[in-house]
Amino acid sequence: MTNNTLKSTLASIVIALSACGPSQKPTNRANPNPSNTQNQNQQTNGEPTTNRVEPVTIPLDEPGFPLLLNTSLQERAREVLTAIDTSLLGTHYDGGERQLTARQYLFFKDSLITPVFTKNELDVTGYFAHCRDGDELFRYQLEFEKGYTSALDIDGNLIDLVGRTITVIGDTYRVAQSRQNGLAHELILYRPEKTITLRDTNSHDNTYEPGGVIVNGEQVEDAEVKIMTHQISGAEEEISSIDVRLLADAKLGDVYVPVGGNLSAELDEPEGMLSDRWDIQYFGPRADGSHDIRFIERW
């Protein structure tokens, strides 16, 4: 765990089969410290009690509707996290003559993170949050409200977008470059600590570009990007959304998050998570047979 203060919101990924419906969420929080979980997290009606001193995290499963062994997150969970769930995905506004509004989402619909009791690739037997090598972990989307239309200069630069600010999972970047070259689009986001380059060789289709994510000059081979643009005229281009999909890959293949461990620590390329302000942590099985998987928000 880093020295950054962990901050939690109260919303969880609500299990799709929950009788309370997708709009209702748990109102209590749980201590994220694995060593203190058993002693400090006393259950009340199946939900952890609030700890007002220790940092807290967001449960990803709904107590009372167990995330059973050998079932995937997407079979039991809500499909998406939004600004309602965590302030890291807050809507970004950049005013001015051409106001920019961008909304963020984390999709787990196709995530194949699964709690299992097995032996990992280091021959350690126990409970793990597991994802097979090459399966989808999550998808991040930045959506420009109603699309963002910009004039083009003679080199294809979206001159009204360059210089604007964009927030990506809690970190604010300045658009250093947004360039359309035929069907291809390259977007460079800059902040002093990090530069993210996104490249899609065909931003007019609906397919992902493998290896199109570069963080601080290093290509993230397990990340894919899809930039959606549309030509308004010869002098204008509209950008509507940016999607980044991260596939599972640990140093030895499959991803195995141990009890008390974080997803980012098990990845060969954790840069593909785009921000170190969030993580997924596995706390192992509960007494009722469900499994405790949580979203961590860092500030």
Give the pLDDT confidence of 143-161 residue by residue, as tens digits.
Answer: 998 899 999 999 999 999 9
User: How much is the pLDDT for 75?
Assistant: 52
Residue 261's Cα: distance from chain center in Å? 17
CA distance 10 to 159: 40
Report which residue type is found at 128: F
Determine contact, residues 211/226, Cβ cutoff 8 Å.
no
User: Which of 71, 62, 72 lies closest to 13, judged by CA?
Assistant: 62
Residue 267, CA distances (Å) to 24, 121, 283 in order:
32, 14, 18
> Above 60 in pLDDT, residue 64?
no
Structural tokens at position 214? 């570069």
Please provide the average confidence, as pLDDT, over all residues in the chain. 78
Higher pLDDT, 32 or 227: 227
Least confident of 53-57, 74-78, 114-118, 209-213: 53-57
**Half-sphere CA count of 105, side-chain side, radius 13 A:** 15
> Above 50 in pLDDT, residue 50?
no
**What beta strand segments (E) does 30-135 contain?**
43-44, 47-48, 58-59, 80-81, 92-94, 100-107, 114-119, 125-131
User: How much is the pLDDT for 225?
Assistant: 98
User: How much is the pLDDT for 291?
Assistant: 79
Report yes or no on whether pTM surpasses 0.85: no
Supply angle C-alpha 288, 292, 294, rounded to 5: 155
Place of tokens 């200069």: 153
User: How much is the pLDDT for 145?
Assistant: 87
User: How much is the pLDDT for 60?
Assistant: 58
Please, which pLDDT band fits residue 61 given cuts at 50, 70 and 90?
low
Element (H, E) at 266: helix 263-266
Please, which pLDDT band fits residue 59 given cuts at 50, 70 and 90?
low
Supply angle C-alpha 4, 43, 39, rounded to 5: 60
> Above 50 in pLDDT, residue 116?
yes
User: How much is the pLDDT for 293?
Assistant: 83
